[in-house]
Each structure stands twice: as structure tokens, then as C-alpha cells.
Amino acid sequence: MKSLRIKNLKKKFKNTIAVNGINIEIDEGKIIGIIGRSGAGKSTLLRMINRLVDPTEGSIEFDDIKVSSIKGRALRKWRSECAMIFQQFNLVERLDVLTNVLIGSLGRNYNLLNLFGIFSKEEKINALKNLDRFDLSGIALQKAGTLSGGQQQRVAIARALMQKPRILLADEPISSLDPKNAKRVMDDMLKINREDGITIICNLHSLEVAKKYCDRLIGLSDGKVVFDGNPEELTTEISKELYDLDNE
């Protein structure tokens, strides 16, 4: 059985339909790239999986969790299993790197002391280990705001790992990075996919990167799936259509 099942998913905002009936099923342990123009509904799709955005219609299920309808504690538990990283990294810039990583554990293992900035020794060791995996333990005590974009995104990945997630959603993770840093971030994601078996669903603007790293590509256009298959199957015609290249 496929672990993540999305059925007839729709999202309407005031005047626009961002996602218009998406059906996909996703295997565990793969890297799935979601491609398409900006405004194609990629970001809304990911946000609905994490439930930052509530779907208007349709359902999302993961194993036996009814993701699209859970509330409260169950929703927070789901969110902690379904980590997310963002185009703008979304770190707390005034806090140090270590605390930013520790924050990732709050959804999974929360206690009142955390609110005073106190974390257990185990979580701290855990956080440092996660940073160390990406060669970031040296800057653990720097303010997050002082880091380069690439470093910030990798800290965000370390934070995501603190959640001990089963899925990682990456919303345009390399769009604000230069090619060198983009490669490092993608390599790091590949690493956690291969070593930890975490499923990754990744919105990507760059086809080249998507083809190189992803096991499966899903092309969206106007909120609908227009392509679903292996990277090799993606022909030039389809990609032209996806990105509306003729009109540019």
C-alpha cells in the first residue's frame, strides 16, 4: 500500500483555484519532485499536506491517519512527523543556531520548561549531532541571522531532522540560493533520504536539479497534474508545456 494518498484535492482562495483536483499516491522512502511554473499550485499542495493550509475539498491520508480532517493534538503530532523547510528558511534570526535546531523537537516532545528556553541534555546532544551531520556544529552558537543563505537552509534541515519525521516537505528549498549552495542543500537532502529513509517531497523550479535528484516527478499546471513519471520520461515537449516556454 502506498503510504501517502491524496484524493481529489482542491483548494479555492477568494478568487482563484490554486489546486484543482489532484490525485496522487506516494511510496515511502523516495524523493518526489514537484515541478511547474510559479502559481501552478505547488506550494499550496505542500502546505495542505502539512495542513498549514486547509483543503477546500478532497482528502489526504497517510497510513491510517486522516490528515485532511484531524485537529488539535493529532494535527500537531502529524505536523511533527511531516517536517517542512521553506524557500526563505524561516529560522528565528535572533536566536542561535542550536536553539533554532532544538525548536524542531517541540512538536514531538514538549514540556513546560521549554517555554523558558530549557531543553534536556538528550535533546541538546541530539541537536548537536544533527548539526554535525551537515558540518555545522562549529557554528552552533552563532546567531542564525548572521549565516549565509545556504547555511541557514542546512540548519533548517537539521531542525527538520529533530522532529524525527517520516516525510520532509521542501517548498522551493534552493530558489534563493546560488548554484554552489543549492547543490550542497540538495546533496544534504539526498543524504537524509538515503541514510534515514525519509520520504522527500520537493517543490523545484529548476528542471535540471529535479531530474538529477528525484526518483519521480509530478508536473503541475493550473492546479492539475499534467505529468507523473520517472525523470527519464519527461520529454522536452512536456517540459515546454509545463513551463509555458513558448510564451516566454
Partner 1 sequence: MTDKDIMNLHPQVFYPLWKRSPLFILTLISIFTYLIFSINYFNFSLNDLLNGFSKMKPILISMVTWNDFFTWNFNSILIGILQTLSMAFLGTIAASIVSIPLGLLASRQVVKISLPRFIIRRFLDFIRGVDILIWALIFVRAFGLGPLSGVLAIFVADTGTLSKLYSEAADNSDNKPIEGLVSSGATKISTLRFGLIPQVMPIFISQSLYFFESNSRSAVILGIVGAGGIGLQLSERMKAQYWDQAFFIILLILIMVAVIDRVSRALREKLINE
Partner 2 sequence: MSESLIKNHNERLKGLIRKRRFWNIFLSIGILLGLIFSSKIIDINASRLLSGLPRLGDYVAQILPSLETNSLFLDSKTEGSISYWYFNLPKYLHLLFETFNMALVATIIGSSIALFLSFFAAKNTAPNSLIYFITRRTLEFFRGVPEIIFAILFVWALGIGPIAGIIAMMLHTTGSLGKLFSEVHENSDVRPREALKASGGNWFSEMKFGLLPQVLPNLISYILLRFEINIRASTILGFVGAGGIGQELYLVINFNYYEEVSAIIFLIILTVISIDILSGYLRKNIIEAE
> Which residues make up the interface to partner 1 (CB under 8 A)?
98, 117-118, 121, 124-125, 128-129, 132, 137-138, 140-141
For partner 2, the binding residues in 125-154 under the rule CB under 8 A are none
Least separation in angstroms between residue 121's CB and partner 1 is: 6
Taking CB under 8 A as the criterion, the residue among 42, 159, 184, 216 binding partner 2 is 159
CA separation for the pair 193, 65 (Å, rounded): 22
Least separation in angstroms between residue 129's CB and partner 1 is: 6
**Cross-strand partners of 4:** 26, 62
Least separation in angstroms between residue 135's CB and partner 2 is: 22
Task: Pick the closer one to partner 1 by CB: 140 or 185.
Answer: 140
Q: Contact between 52 and partner 2 (CB under 8 A)?
A: yes
Phi, psi at 96, each rounded to 5°: -75, 165
Binding mask 58-97 for partner 2 (x = CB under 8 A): ------------------xxxxxx-xx-x-x-xxxxxx--
C-alpha dihedral sign at 101, 106, 110, 111: positive
User: Residue 195 to residues 30, 166, 180, 191, 227: CA-CA distances in angstroms?
Assistant: 12, 13, 22, 6, 29
Q: Contact between 104 and partner 2 (CB under 8 A)?
A: yes
Task: Pick the closer one to partner 1 by CB: 196 or 228.
Answer: 196
**Cross-strand partners of 24:** 6
Of these partners, partner 1, partner 2, none, which one is at the site of residue 159 (CB under 5 to 8 Å by kind)? partner 2
Task: Pick the closer one to partner 1 by CB: 90 or 137.
Answer: 137
CA separation for the pair 189, 177 (Å, rounded): 15
Task: Pick the closer one to partner 1 by CB: 20 or 130.
Answer: 130
Could you tell me how many residues of this chain bind partner 2 (CB under 8 A)? 32
Residues that bind partner 2 (CB under 8 A): 50, 52, 76-81, 83-84, 86, 88, 90-95, 99, 103-104, 106-108, 110, 114-115, 117, 156, 159-160, 163
